[in-house]
Structure 1
Amino acid sequence: MDTDEDIMAAVVNGQLERLAELYRRYRRPLYGFLLKRVNAPAAAEDLLQTTFERVIKYRASFREGSSFRSWVFTIARNAVHDSVRKEQRMPVKSDVDLGVLPILTPSAHCDWEKRETRSQSAAALAALPESYREVVDLAWKRGLKYAEIAEVLGLSEANVKVRIHRAVKQLRINYAKIEQQ
């Protein structure tokens, strides 16, 4: 099985049909990443398409020996920033909707507790500054390594580690505030 970088090298050399494999590998993680940024499924789909259009357009800028994953997440991130600038507004975060509370049978009570925990987690994460939410999302949800995150965000690896550390510290504070309410 070819690596992402091998496939991208073929794309750079004109085998554009090989991009379909990279799309299959990356559409879900990129869509999730984009959805977290814009909080609108249709906009995330559009940005996913824009990302892969830019992969084709800027394929010659892909450097041999670099990580495709870092490169494509950088393109996706830049697409979000360009979209936000174009619309002259920041992405809107919606509140977490717990929905209707179930009848409190033992299993429904367990479901409610899970939803409540997810709601608290979402609230604690939403209270983080964007720079912390971004590194947490890339590291914990998208599975990027610190070096890859540094490449995507244009930071040093040490700075990424500091942001993760500060995000965790702030999350603890946020959870404590939420539990006191």
Structure 2
Amino acid sequence: MLKVKDGDLDRLGLLFERYKRPLYGFFYNMSKDGELAEDLVQNVFFRILKYRYLFRGDGDFKTWMFHIARNVSHDNFKKNKIRHKDPIEDWEDHIRDDNDRVTSIQKDEELQLLSMAMDRLPEEKRELLLMSKYQDKKYKEIGDMLGCTEGAVKVKVFRALQDLKAVYKQLEKHM
């Protein structure tokens, strides 16, 4: 990134190839829309190019990039003022055990319930869980992105998990 900042714009392609998948996963899990996720990844790299002069190099590039990604996500949802839902029929069975069909159906139902529970969480909590559990971000990195301490992130993630558990159990009762 420091080379991109210094004007070697060809290096941005290398960064794109390295980070497009984690960004796509982040945006897809937030929106459940593949085309939108691809567009938002492009927007992140456009902003990286536009604001490259702001990268100081004293922190982790990935943290800086995901900070931009969060801003892109927030801007998109503010602009559209809609929340994208994942229709249950669009969920595929990711974990299939052909030897035990009952187990497979049960896992599919659990994934559907989990997806529904995640969709019912406020955007901030869903984002925290996606970054910490699915993107494997360290609490310190998340704290840097959110502008808070590592301890505050731990508390926020714990509360988000508690809320997810409560929503999941509520959905489970109604099924």
Query: Under a length normalisation based on structure 1, what TM-score does the superposition of the two structures give?
Result: 0.83
Runs of 5+ in structure 1 lacking a partner?
A: 1-7
Contact kept, 8 Å, 1:98 with 1:116, in 2: the verdict is: no
Contact kept, 8 Å, 1:39 with 1:91, in 2: the verdict is: no
What are the superposed Cα offsets for residues 82-128 of structure 1, whole Å, 9 maximum, x if unpaired?
223333x1332233227799xxx853323212211211221222232
For this pair of structures, how many residues does the alignment match? 170
Q: Distance in 1 between matches of 2:77 and 2:113?
A: 28
Q: Considering only CA atoms, is the larger Rg found in Structure 1 or Structure 2?
A: 1
Tell me which residue corresponds to 2:15.
22
Query: Under a length normalisation based on structure 2, what TM-score does the superposition of the two structures give?
Result: 0.85
Tell me which residue corresponds to 2:106.
113
Which aligned segments of 4 or more residues in structure 1 are displaced greater than 6 angstroms?
Answer: 98-101
Contact kept, 8 Å, 1:98 with 1:119, in 2: the verdict is: no
Q: Distance in 2 between matches of 1:168 and 1:99?
A: 22
Shift of the alpha carbon at 1:56?
0.9
Helix, strand or coil at the partner of 2:77: helix
Helix, strand or coil at the partner of 1:97: helix
Matches within 5 A, 1:77-156: 77-87=70-80, 89-97=81-89, 107-156=100-149
Instruction: Call closer, same or farther: CA 1:55–1:180 in 2, change over 3 Å.
Output: same
Instruction: Call closer, same or farther: CA 1:99–1:158 in 2, change over 3 Å.
Output: closer
Instruction: Call closer, same or farther: CA 1:152–1:11 in 2, change over 3 Å.
Output: same
Helix, strand or coil at the partner of 1:177: helix
One-letter amino acid matched to 2:79 = K
Tell me which residue corresponds to 1:64.
57
Contact kept, 8 Å, 1:37 with 1:91, in 2: the verdict is: no
